[in-house]
Amino acid sequence: MSSVFVAFFMTLLLTFSVAQAQMVKVDGSSTVFPLTEAVAEEFQKADPKIRVTVGISGTGGGFKKFCRGDSDIQNASRPIEESEIQACKKSGIRFLELPVAFDAIAIVVHPSNPFAKDITVEELKKAWEPSAQGQIKKWNQIRSSWPDAPVAFFGAGSDSGTFDYFTEAINGKSKSSRGDYTASEDDNTLVMGVSREKNALGYIPLHYFEENSAKLKAIPVIYKGKKQTPSKESVISGHYAPLSRPLFIYISEKSLKRAEVKKFAEFFIQKSKSLAEEIQMIPLPESTYDVVQKNLTQEKWGTVFKGHSQVGMKIEELLLKEKN
């Protein structure tokens, strides 16, 4: 009996010393998660010695971890914010900002919804702004021609980059939103929720809609008088506004020094185009990926965004920003 205990404690001591070798820790946005998951899966098939974990704490939650040095790579569905830049500076963490794909936010309702055929940006604001909390509860309060029926709101949680971007684009201020809705950092929960609720009105990343298009209905958004249906084409052409946005990964300087992280990052940029297409995300143009690859190799630290999202950014604009 005692020999078993001795053996156990020896193993314990030994394994304590063998730290987390060859592991890449990724965390952050649930929007970017499917892409990172796909990359991680292919990467570990190609090189099983390197382990990759991917968490979904949300862009906000992920940045907190990232700027504490608790993760190597941060998935982000919005650029790094001023407060986060400061936090990273305080911890002495320099980072690379690499756009990896483009995405949009789709406004979704239950497929059997007969009346919600489109929605204006102003109506979205009326429905989601902070003062709507406890007040705007029925469809006809958003648009008078809609029925007098209760609305079940679904949207990203407060730690989500989708949340930050949506609130900035629609309500004018990042993180400013009503609080009485089904909020989740996990977009799967939102898809489940909207698809099972007849009176649902929600916002989710476009590629989550594309992957589940049989269960949901995405309604066009009317912006500046123009009705835009969310689709790959309307996002690439820049017409689906203001809810189109780039997706990023951030890598810390310290982590990049480790060979496994560098390998993973390069693999990520290489494979983003094909994998993004596979999971219905919108890949960046080839030329943009070349620039991003160059920024990675040349270690262009810092962010080209000034600590907040640029609402309604078009893909070409992103390319220009990254080139400079």
Partner 1 sequence: MGTRQSRGWVEKIFETWFAACAYLSIAVTAGIVLTLVWESWPFFQQVGLVEFLFEKEWTPLFSDAKFGIQPLLLGTLMTTLIACAVAVPLGILIAATLSEFMSSRMRQVIKPVIELLAGIPSVIFGYFALIVVTPFLQKWIPSLPGFSLLAAGLTMSFMILPLIVSLSEDALQAVPSSLREASQALGGTVWETTWKVILPSASSGIISACILGVSRAIGETMVVAIAAGQQPHWTLDPTEPAATMTAFMVQVALGDLPHGSLGYQTVFVVGLTLLLMTLAFNFLALQFRSRIRKSF
Partner 2 sequence: METSTSRRKLFNQLMKILGLLGLGLSLVILLTLIFDLIIRGGSRIDFNFLTSFPSRRPSEAGLLSAWVGTLFVMLITAVMTILVGVSAAIYLEEYAKPGPMSRLIELNILNLSAMPSILYGLLALGIFVHQFRLGASLLTAGLTLSLLVLPIVIVSSREALRALPPNLKEASFALGATRFQTLIYYQLPSSLSGIMTGVILALSRAIGETAPLITIGALTYIAFLPKSIMDPFTVLPIQLFNWLSRPQPAFHVNAAAAGVILLLLTLSLNLLAIYIRIRVRKSVKW
Which residues would be at the binding site for partner 2 (CB under 8 A)? 5, 8, 12, 15-16, 18-20, 23, 27, 33-34, 37-38, 40-41, 44, 48, 51-56, 186, 188-189, 191-192, 195, 211-212, 215, 279
Smallest distance, partner 1 to C-beta of residue 254, A: 20
Q: Which does 51 bind (CB under 5 to 8 A by kind): partner 2, partner 1, none?
A: partner 2
Q: Which of 226, 200, 28 is nearest to 109 (CA)?
A: 200
Residues in the site for partner 1, rule: CB under 8 A? 27, 56-58, 60-62, 64-65, 68, 130, 133-134, 152, 157-159, 175-186, 189, 192-193, 195-198
Q: Nearer Cβ to partner 1, position 92 or 179?
A: 179
* Residue 272 contact, options partner 1, partner 2, none, Cβ 5-8 Å cut-off depending on partner type: none
Q: What is the Cα–Cα distance from 284 to 103, expressed in whole angstroms?
A: 10
Q: Please choose, from the candidates 23, 106, 112, the residue with its C-alpha nearest in 3D space to the C-alpha of residue 71.
A: 23
The secondary structure element, H or E, covering residue 125 is helix 121-128
How far is 320 from 324, CA to CA, in rounded Å?
7
Q: Tell me the backbone φ, ψ of residue 222, rounded to 5 degrees.
A: -100, 115
Nearer of residues 67 and 282 to partner 1, judged by Cβ: 67
110 vs 314, beta carbon nearer partner 1: 110
Q: How far apart are CA 93 and CA 281, in angstroms?
A: 30
Nearer CB in complex with partner 2: 52/85: 52
What does the DSSP 8-state code read for residue 284?
P
Nearer to partner 2, 186 or 290 (CB): 186
Q: Which does 197 bind (CB under 5 to 8 A by kind): partner 1, partner 2, none?
A: partner 1
Binds 176: which of partner 1, partner 2, none (CB < 5-8 Å by kind): partner 1
Q: What angle do CA 216, 315, 76 make, to 5 degrees?
A: 65
Cα–Cα distances in Å, from 267 out to 43, 116, 121, 262? 7, 42, 38, 9
77 DSSP 8-state letter: S
> Which does residue 40 bind out of partner 1, partner 2, none, counting CB within 5 to 8 angstroms by kind?
partner 2
